Structure formats: C-alpha cells, structure tokens
Amino acid sequence: MKYCPSPFSYRRRKTSEVRVGGVGVGGDNPIRVQSMLTSDTMNTEACVAEALPILDAGCEIIRLTAPTVNDAKKLKDFVEALRARGYATPVVADIHFKPDTAMEAVKWVEKIRINPGNFADKKKFVVKEYTDANYAAEVAHMEAAFTPLVLECKRLGRAMRIGTNHGSLSDRILNRFGDTPAGMVESALEFARVCRKHDYHDLVFSMKASNVKVMIAAYRLLAARLDELGWNYPLHLGVTEAGGGEDGRIKSAAGIGALLEDGIGDTVRVSLTEDSVHEIPVAYALVKKFNDRLSGPAAPELAADVKETRDPFSYARRKTRELAAGSTKVGGENLVRVCVTNAAFGQLAPKRGQLGDTQPELIFEQSGVVEVDPLNDDLSRISDNHLVAVKDGVPLSSIVAYRILAAKLDARGCRAPILLKDVLKAPASAADSLDAMLQAASMIGALICDGIGDAILVRGEAGAEAGLRLAYNILQATGSRSFKAEYVACPSCGRTLFNLQTVTERIRKSTAHLKGVKIAVMGCIVNGLGEMADADFGYVGGAPGKVNLYVGKTCVKFNIPEAEAVDRLVDLIKEHDKWSVPPVAR
C-alpha cells in the first residue's frame, strides 16, 4: 500500500471537495484552519463572546460540543447570534455517545462530528473474544443507530466528520484489532460503509492520538486504505491532548507538519490547553508554505530511482552502527544525541550547572560529521564509520533530502548514523521565532518518527539555550527521550468539568521535575481512559468540582474535591515510588 505518490517529492493528496456551509474542504481549496470553543454550550452569550476573537483571528470553521439534547437545541441560538453579527463561518457540533443529540444538532449546524468509538457503543473495556456472529451483531446495532443521522445529513446537505480517537475505540474494535492504527482506521471505515450504502459522501475523516508516532501511522494507513478503495475523502489533521505552551506547539508541529509534508491533510486544528484563539496563528504557520504551493508548479520528482526502505505504517528506528563522535557515542542502541555548534557551546558553558538533564552532548565542529548532497554526491565514500548529514543549501525540503540520504545508504547496506540539522535561519521577529520553532519541530520530528536520525542540531532559535531546549523538547514530544515529566492534557471544551489551564499549570508546578513520569490531565472521561493508556497517572474530571485519580487505566480515587486533588495526586505518585525530591534552584 502507498500512502502518498512518493515520500521523496511533495504532492498533495487528491481529494474531493466537501462543502461545510460556504467553506470548501479538500479538492483544490487551501488547507483550512479550525478551532473549538471551551465555553458551556448552554451559555450562548459566553460562547459568542469566546467565538468572535477566534473568528476574527482567521478561524474558518468553528466547533463546539453538544453533550445532551438540550445543548444541541442551544446550537440554534448560537448560530443565529453569529449570523446576526455578520459571521457566516460554518459551525460544527461535536457529538459523543448520544445519537438523539446528533439528530437535534444536525438541524442547526453545517457539520456534525461523530466519534465512531462511542456513537453507538457503550465502552466497558471488556476483554472477550468476538465470534464473527457477535461482531456482525454489534455492527448491525451500530448501523441501525447511525443510519437516521446519515439520512438526515444527506437530506439537509450537512457535512460529517468521522473522527476516530486513539483513546476511545469501541470494545469491538479493541478486541479484534487492538489499540492500533489498524483498529483506528477500521473503526472509521465501518461508519463510512454505512454512509456509502446510502450514497452519502460529504465526509471528512480524522485519526487523532496524543502519541505522535501513532497519529502519523494512523493517518498514513487511512490514506493508503482510502486510496486502495478508491475513496478520495478529505482528511482533518490534529494531535489530540497535545498540551500547552511550547510543548503543545512542538508536539502538534511534529505530527501535523509530518503529514502535511506527505501531502496529507485538508484542514487542521491545533489542540492547545490554552484559550482557543492562540491555536489559530500556530495552525496558519503550519499550513502556510503548503497553501502557498497551490498557485505554484508541482515539485519535480528528483529521486525516481530511489527505493523506500522503511515501513511508513509502523515505527522502527533505522539500524545504524555505534561510533564515537568526539567523546560521545552515537548510533546503534544509543539515545538520539543533542548537538550544538562550537559557538553555542561557548555560550552555554557558564550555565552548564543549570542545564540538568539537557546538556549538549556533541559539538558539531568536533563531531567528524561528513556533509553531503544526497542527490548529486557519490555516497559510496560514506562508510559505517561516518556520521553523515545533509549539506546546507541543498535545493530540497529537509525531510525529502534526509529520506533520500537514508534510503540510499540503506540500499548499499551502509549503517552510518545520521545527524539531522534544521534550516539555518536566525529569527528576526516573534512571528519568525514561532515559525522557526514549528519548522524545526515539523522537520526533525517527522524524521525522528520515520526512524531516521541519531543526533539532532537545532540552529534556528534566537539563543543557544533556546535552541538546546527546543532540541530536547522535540525528542520528548516524539517519545524519543525523556528529560522531564510529560503531560497528556486535553484542550478545554464544553464538557470540561474544571479549569484545565489552571489545573494543568498547578500539576506542572508540583511534578515537572519527575523525569520519565507521564501524567494525563483530562477534563472529562470521553477520551480519558484510552489516551491515558500509556500514562502513569491520570487526573480526570468526574463531576462538577470532583476529580477521579487513575493509575494507568484504573481509577483508584473517586470524587475527590477539586481543592484537594493536586495534593492527592502527589500522594498517589509517592505511594507508587515515582516521586523524587525537586532539585534546589541555583
């Protein structure tokens, strides 16, 4: 199966246009930017007040949750209030669990998002064997519950997103396919088959996960399966529960940016644990260069003779030989190393005692790296004993250049380790700084998720310390290294049962020093258990003012008053021997 025409040349995936109100998604349209409200849907005034600055910032499609039929009825007031103010922006209702809520919401909005993992299935996380008859019976139940919505969407001219979440697959899918990209894809295709049975095609798909490698693999597999079936539906990209601040931006860029480079994606939402208006400039920065290409010539195929050697649907680090670069071992089974320039090392030297686990490990000028043009240079001179990188100024995108380099080395059986370098361009403004960070995260993150790269060099940041921090944060976001606690934190929505931004920051202040510990902070349980699958601890809204605490996917503390919950989480971490004393600030 192929997920794109070529991994060595950019081609946007050909999709049909789906009309969401007056906005076209897919086809020859630009990649659309969207966001989601955090306000209670029952409070129309609050929703409108939140929506207006988001729309003014350029949001092209706006979404809000409808947990109940009463929430769905209030969508009418929200849409009318926007239209009365002159905004024609399409509105999407986010539906979980309740088909009757979807049937009410579809009356008022231009698009319905359903989650195939919980639209018609009650999740019990029950482990059992499904016979073919059992499986077919559950699919028939799903079809009976889903068909009325399909017919109503078709009658009213509404669009639909079939939005799979890694964290909320049905028990039926989990028990037959596992918690895998293949399961995520099949979950969506089950619902798509029902739509196609009724000749309804205004569909957009998504495959969201908080794990960047899983997210990339799932979207690639979906694109390959759709193309195999001859179905050219558009795709909505997003990394769910990405978190906030620099971490959330880096994680989003690594996942979304990697897929955009593959030509995959027709609309994006950057999910940050922040006010939603902050998502818009990040999304536009990610899609800009791809939208700019719409009016330009197609990229030439420069590596038609290069054969792909990796499996793009499952992660495996490229096998390389260990070698000594300066005083540091690189390649083989070693961690992906962080490299700095000699000048940056000099700037960092006085601060070495403050850098903790984020020390520079290689100095570029002393590493013995060999720089090449992977298209035009003779790579036969590269042996397993070389650390190799792409030259600056090669007229290829960095991702394509490094993929060609890795494929050509592998074709020769050469196991030389590879050093990844971002584009050398010093930022001149705050906007340039955001762009530099996102481009480095997209480029290096994508290649790390491809299994390519044994060391990384970030040079586009304004200062040496910022560049070093970004390098380590990219490795943390892609699951390649851990130097601090990691947070799987969902963006707020109308279902959220506490202030996510405030609570996440309180948890971060208490636990950020816990290297290797992963904590999930979830406003509700919709995606909680699944997205917490590889988290050590979970902090989940259980009821207004009440929090449930988890160890893995097991709830161990129920209905804790919110005022006590962070302290109780710390106690839980201590009980499970994951606590360490915070370092003394110097």
* pLDDT tens sequence across 485-503: 998 877 666 666 678 888 9
Domain 18-292 has CATH 3.30.300.30: no
The domains of the chain are located at: 18-292, 323-477, 486-575
**Cα dihedral 459→463→466→472 (10° resolution):** 40
Grade residue 29 by pLDDT with cuts at 50, 70 and 90: very high
Structure tokens of 580? 């360490």
**Cα dihedral 400→406→408→412 (10° resolution):** -170
Grade residue 405 by pLDDT with cuts at 50, 70 and 90: very high
Q: What is the pLDDT of residues 535-552, one digit of tens each?
A: 899 999 888 889 999 998
* Percent of all residues in the chain with a pLDDT value above 90, rounded to a whole number: 75
Cα–Cα dist 469/462, whole Å: 12
Are 494 and 44 contacting, i.e. CB atoms less than 8 angstroms apart?
A: no
Average pLDDT, the chain: 92
Q: Averaged over 277-282, what is the pLDDT?
A: 97
**Per-residue pLDDT at 465 exceeds 60:** yes
Q: Averaged over 193-204, what is the pLDDT?
A: 98
Domains 18-292 and 486-575 share a fold: no
Are 521 and 503 contacting, i.e. CB atoms less than 8 angstroms apart?
A: yes
**Per-residue pLDDT at 70 exceeds 60:** yes
**Per-residue pLDDT at 125 exceeds 70:** no
Q: Averaged over 410-419, what is the pLDDT?
A: 97
* Residue 337 C-beta-side C-alpha neighbours within 13 Å: 27
**Per-residue pLDDT at 98 exceeds 80:** yes
In the CATH hierarchy, which top-level class contains the domain 486-575? alpha beta
Grade residue 461 by pLDDT with cuts at 50, 70 and 90: confident
